[in-house]
C-alpha cells in the first residue's frame, strides 16, 4: 500500500487525551498529508509556556503510533469521518473547483483526489504503525513557532 495519503495522526487517541490536559490550548490539528513526504501538526495556545508540554504530547503520540496498532473501531470511525467530512465540503461548484484544482496543482493528476481517499478506505492499523515507524523520526522533525518573544519556541 502506498503511504502517500496516510494521515496517521488522526488515529492517535493518546494525542487528544495528552493535549486535552494542557491548559490554554485553543486548537490542535492533526497531521495532514501535504505531499508524499510532508506531514504537519499545528497547535495553538494562548500561553507560550505550555509549548514544551505540547511537544511532549506530540512525541508521546508518535511513540504510541509506532508501537501500538490503532484500535479497529477508532480506525473505522476515523476513515468514515475523513471521507464524509470531505464529501460534505463539496457543497457548491466553487468548493468542488477549488478542491479539484488543489489536487491537480499538487500532483498534476485530477484522479489523485479519488486515489487519496481510496487509500484511506483501504488503510489498516498495520499501515498506520509502519508509516509512523518509517517517517516520524526525530531527524526528520522541523519545529516552527510563532511567538511574541524575540527568542522563543521549543528546542
Extract the C-alpha cell encoding 133: 515507524
Query: What was the pLDDT predicted at 153?
Result: 64
SS3 percent helix, strand, coil of the chain, rounded to 5, is 55, 5, 35
| Phi, psi dihedral angles at 14 (to 5 degrees) | -65, -30
Do 18 and 57 meet the contact criterion of CB atoms below 8 Å apart? yes
Q: Is the pTM of this model over 0.75?
A: no
Tell me which residue of 136, 147, 150, 142 sits closest to 50, measured CA to CA: 147
Series of mean pLDDT values for 10-residue runs along the chain (155 residues): 39 53 52 55 76 81 86 85 87 92 87 84 87 82 76 65
Residues across the chain: 155
Helix or strand (DSSP H, E) at 43: strand 42-45
Q: What CATH number matches the domain at 8-140, 3.30.830.10, 3.40.50.10490, 3.40.190.180, 3.10.20.440? A: 3.30.830.10
Amino acid at each position: 500500500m502506498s503511504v502517500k495519503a496516510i494521515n496517521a495522526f488522526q488515529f492517535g487517541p493518546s494525542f487528544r487525551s495528552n493535549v486535552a490536559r494542557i491548559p490554554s490550548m485553543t486548537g490542535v490539528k492533526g497531521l495532514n498529508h501535504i505531499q508524499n513526504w510532508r506531514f504537519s501538526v499545528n497547535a495553538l495556545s494562548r500561553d507560550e509556556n505550555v509549548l514544551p508540554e505540547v511537544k511532549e504530547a506530540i512525541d508521546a503520540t508518535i511513540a504510541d503510533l509506532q508501537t501500538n496498532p490503532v484500535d479497529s473501531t477508532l480506525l473505522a470511525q476515523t476513515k468514515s469521518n475523513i471521507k464524509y467530512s470531505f464529501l460534505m465540503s463539496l457543497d457548491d461548484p466553487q468548493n468542488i473547483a477549488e478542491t479539484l484544482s488543489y489536487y491537480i496543482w499538487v500532483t498534476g493528476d485530477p484522479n489523485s483526489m479519488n486515489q487519496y481517499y481510496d487509500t484511506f478506505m483501504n488503510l489498516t492499523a498495520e499501515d498506520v504503525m509502519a508509516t509512523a515507524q518509517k517517517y516520524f523520526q526525530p531527524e526528520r522533525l522541523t519545529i516552527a513557532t510563532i511567538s511574541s518573544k524575540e527568542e522563543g519556541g521549543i528546542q
